[in-house]
């Protein structure tokens, strides 16, 4: 690290770390971002940057020392608030070098609200055109709904900068080329016609910085559109009328706010949490005075009008641009807070911030671009050009040219303490452009079930999104280096030593020195565990009956929130502290919790409780469920410290909802209780032992504190087996336990639930054992440990006394 940083500083020392500022980057991190000292690497500043702790202290002191009243009043506190708001409006204008004589600042609830305001108040007509670059956020695309609904045309365009042909500040006619995509229209308007009104208003929208690739647009485009629109738009439908320009600076403002004295855009939108982290829910629209006269706002609210009469159609709007365009009382406490954010930014200087961030971006692009697999194949495909502002967007490839899914990258990064962003970042045009996705492929992805924020990151062999790393003014070289090291250790296949990290699905998982033909003798069933309530603790038994859903009463109950969300330990870790036991002879489920004084007893006999029965859908299956009364629900709500409702599955009324809607469930052909993937999970003691050996070895090599050893029960298995070699179960196609037969459905994909340490009456989340498992048990984005089973029907057709599993029974596998 030290040597690499020394080399980095030789090249970027004049730009990195604020060498001429009041504080160095190390001092900034130590005094203003102490919450990052726990080795958290935050790399999603394009989504939301981090607020300074000094900034928040100043805000708290301000709000606790002053009285701010509603500005729509004449009291002293209200007048003081009005003055603060005026001061903040001027700060916003100054940030973009906008003259108060030419521009006004309108506060909104965010950049999206600012765009919505322009869209709904713009003077659209059937002769208008809304033109926007392909690289635009969904919030800009949403404006076209207003245009199309008013009969205007909408068209996406690509802008090409003709570098070198003409760069004169006087003649911009040949600097840009605009190429349009298909024209969109509604309401039966086929074309703009030959006699387009010369006074029709058009709107051209583009971002100052693309939030997908980080590519910065040349802001000379503003003057080119205004002064040379006939030349620039000669190959488009937009040839006559008045063209106004909107810049979406929500992302770009964090490093390079547009200079409106040089680039006189009509509308600029920004969001403050992307600049200095707090407040959220506050943005601004900077609007030219001349452009404001064109907007026709319909709604009025609160004190933004001079007068209105309740029972007569009369309203008199205020003369001020700000009051006429804002809705009711502004978020004046949040507005007062931005002064402290600007103070932080101005202390470091925006040009210094830009240079600091650019040095990290350049370094990371260079490192990622140089990565090669052992066969010489490129590891990283980076999107955008070298003028990429504050971010690097990329996807990763395997040695054979196939893609690593971006969700796999995100999950593994999270395990390593690295927070980044994946997907299309609400920018579908840029996503399709850089990933080379055609309209047909985009439609195919939707038909395959792909939506925003899902796990469907590869469809038909192509990525549906990307990985984005973005830096902020407090980011460090160490942040960038840790990200680069993570990519190398997790995704690059090196020549030596032999790596067991990424294994093809057809291969066997092997421990070092193991033979490919594993021993299968001496295997027996070590323990049986039943988990009556999904995600709560289970109980061990010596023997237990089987049913068509698996072990009798296994995961037959679950807890859901009042909003309908199924609760698990991921959302409610306290569920692990709820203990359960089923007494078959008494016909009672006993439930206890350290947070409840009384033991809860639930009859196994199905009887109506409270709300009766209803149907739910879960993992592609439809279940008829039994509900319980308020007393039962209150007990569980106290146990997990949040409102919840208990449901019980009626196994006889569980069926496959849709053959194509499988969700995460692997076993679609069987009757199931409330399981995620299959009826049974089997864990091998030998595999757990190998994992613990790796944990011990990892600890000794890194000189870290001792990593606690894990037991088989950490993985919530139904069946634990003893004997055999580690991971021999990966190759079992079918097994017999005693006289019962089970089919293997493959490996169990592990999640962060196995990182919850539940050894006491509290629950602690750690990074292990998932991090270690990810280093050698990863296949196509899944981290596998244990195998999923389903009982074969023939095992349930025997006498009732034979349909039991018992500890000690021998296990006989059939290999693949």
Q: Which residues are the active-site residues?
A: 426
- Distance (Å, whole) CA 143 – CA 140: 5
- Distance (Å, whole) CA 412 – CA 199: 56
Backbone φ and ψ of 34, nearest 5°: -65, -25
- Distance (Å, whole) CA 57 – CA 63: 10
Q: Which two tokens stand for residue 91?
A: 């700060």
Query: 350-370 and 332-348 helices cross at what angle (nearest 10)?
Result: 70
**In this structure, is the dihedral angle defined by the CA atoms of residues 616, 622, 627 and 632, taken in order, positive or negative?**
negative
Residue 522 Ramachandran class (φ > 0 left, ψ -120 to 50 alpha, else beta): left
**177-199 as b/e, with b when 16 or more CB fall inside 10 Å?**
bbebeebebeeeeeebeeebeee
- Distance (Å, whole) CA 357 – CA 340: 21
For residues 763, 765, 768, 769, the Cα torsion angle rounded to the nearest 10 degrees is: 50
- Do you find a cis peptide bond into 279, omega within 30 degrees of 0? yes
Cβ atoms of residues 354 and 431 within 8 Å: no
Q: Helix count (H) and strand count (E) of the chain?
A: 21, 39
Cβ atoms of residues 278 and 331 within 8 Å: no
- Distance (Å, whole) CA 536 – CA 529: 12
3-state helix, strand, coil in the chain (%, to 5): 30, 25, 45
**225-257 as b/e, with b when 16 or more CB fall inside 10 Å?**
bbebbeebbeebebebbbbbbbbbbbbbbbbbb
Q: Which two tokens stand for residue 324?
A: 């006429």
Query: 25-32 and 53-65 helices cross at what angle (nearest 10)?
Result: 50
Q: 793, 794, 775: which is closest to 784 by C-alpha?
A: 775
- Distance (Å, whole) CA 781 – CA 681: 20
Cβ atoms of residues 287 and 104 within 8 Å: yes
């Amino acid at each position: 690290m030290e040597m690499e940083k020394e080399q980095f500083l030789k090249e970027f020392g004049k730009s990195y770390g604020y060498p001429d500022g009041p504080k160095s980057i190390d001092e900034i991190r130590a005094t203003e971002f102490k919450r990052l000292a726990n080795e958290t690497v935050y790399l999603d500043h394009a989504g939301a940057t981090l607020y300074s702790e000094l900034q928040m202290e100043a805000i708290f002191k301000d709000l606790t020392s002053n009285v701010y009243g509603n500005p729509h009043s004449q009291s002293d506190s209200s007048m003081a608030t009005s003055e603060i708001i005026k001061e903040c409006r001027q700060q916003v204008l100054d940030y973009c070098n906008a003259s108060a004589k030419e521009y006004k600042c309108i506060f909104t609830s965010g950049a999206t609200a600012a765009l919505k305001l322009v869209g709904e108040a713009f003077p659209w007509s059937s002769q208008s055109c809304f033109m926007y670059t392909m690289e635009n956020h969904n919030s800009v695309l949403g404006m076209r709904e207003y245009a199309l609904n008013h009969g205007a045309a909408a068209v996406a365009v690509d802008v090409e900068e003709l570098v070198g042909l003409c760069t004169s500040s006087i003649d911009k006619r040949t600097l840009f080329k605009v190429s349009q995509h298909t024209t969109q229209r509604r309401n039966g308007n086929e074309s703009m016609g030959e006699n387009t009104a010369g006074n029709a208003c058009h709107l051209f929208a583009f971002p100052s910085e693309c939030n997908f690739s980080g590519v910065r647009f040349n802001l000379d485009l503003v003057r080119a559109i205004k002064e040379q629109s006939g030349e620039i738009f000669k190959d488009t439908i937009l040839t006559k009328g008045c063209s106004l320009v909107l810049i979406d600076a929500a992302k770009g403002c964090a490093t390079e706010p547009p200079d409106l004295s040089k680039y006189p855009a009509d509308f600029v939108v920004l969001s403050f949490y992307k600049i200095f982290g707090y407040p959220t829910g506050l943005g601004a629209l900077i609007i030219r005075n001349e452009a404001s006269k064109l907007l026709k706002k319909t709604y009025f609210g609160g004190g933004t009008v001079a007068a209105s009469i309740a029972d007569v159609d009369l309203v008199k709007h205020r003369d001020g641009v700000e009051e006429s365009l804002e809705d009711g009382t502004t978020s004046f406490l949040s507005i007062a807070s931005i002064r402290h954010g600007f103070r932080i930014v101005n202390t470091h200087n925006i040009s210094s911030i830009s240079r600091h961030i650019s040095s990290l971006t350049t370094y990371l692009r260079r490192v990622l671009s140089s990565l090669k697999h052992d066969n010489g194949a490129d590891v990283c495909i980076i999107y955008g050009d070298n003028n990429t502002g504050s971010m690097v967007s990329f996807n990763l490839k395997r040695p054979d040219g196939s893609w690593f899914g971006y969700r796999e990258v995100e999950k593994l990064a999270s395990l390593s303490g690295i927070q980044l962003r994946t997907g299309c970042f609400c920018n579908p045009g840029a996503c399709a452009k850089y990933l080379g996705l055609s309209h047909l492929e985009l439609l195919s992805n939707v038909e395959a079930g792909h939506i925003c924020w899902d796990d469907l990151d590869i469809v038909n062999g192509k990525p549906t999104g990307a990985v984005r790393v973005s830096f902020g003014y407090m980011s460090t070289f160490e942040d960038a280096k840790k990200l680069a090291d993570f990519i190398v250790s997790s995704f690059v296949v090196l020549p030596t030593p032999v790596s067991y990290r990424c294994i093809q699905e057809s291969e066997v998982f092997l421990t070092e020195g193991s033979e490919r033909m594993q021993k299968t003798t001496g295997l027996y069933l070590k323990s049986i565990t039943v988990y009556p309530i999904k995600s709560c603790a289970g109980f061990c038994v010596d023997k237990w009956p089987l049913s068509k859903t698996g072990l009798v009463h296994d995961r037959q109950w679950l807890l859901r929130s009042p909003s309908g969300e199924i609760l698990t330990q991921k959302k409610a870790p306290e569920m692990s502290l709820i203990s359960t036991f089923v007494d078959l002879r008494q016909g009672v489920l006993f439930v206890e919790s350290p947070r409840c004084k009384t033991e809860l007893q639930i009859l196994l006999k199905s009887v109506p409780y409270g709300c009766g029965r209803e149907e739910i859908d879960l993992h592609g299956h439809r279940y008829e469920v039994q509900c319980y009364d308020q007393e039962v629900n209150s007990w569980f709500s106290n146990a997990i410290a949040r409102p919840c409702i208990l449901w019980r599955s009626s196994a006889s009324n569980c069926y496959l909802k849709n053959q194509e809607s499988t969700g995460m469930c692997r076993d679609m052909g069987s009757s199931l209780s409330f399981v995620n993937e299959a009826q049974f999970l089997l864990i091998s003691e030998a595999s757990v032992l190998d994992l613990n050996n790796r944990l011990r070895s990892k600890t000794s090599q890194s000189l870290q504190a001792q990593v606690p050893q894990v037991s088989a029960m950490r993985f919530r298995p139904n069946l634990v087996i003893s004997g055999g070699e580690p991971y021999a179960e990966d190759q079992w196609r079918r097994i017999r336990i005693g006289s019962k037969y089970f089919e293997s459905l493959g490996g169990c994909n592990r999640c962060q639930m196995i990182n919850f340490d539940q050894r006491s009456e509290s629950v602690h989340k750690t990074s292990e054992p998932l991090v270690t498992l990810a280093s050698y048990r990863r296949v196509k984005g899944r981290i596998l440990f244990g195998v999923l089973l389903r009982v074969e029907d023939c095992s349930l057709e025997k006498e009732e006394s034979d349909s039991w599993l018992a500890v000690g029974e021998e296990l006989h596998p059939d290999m693949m």
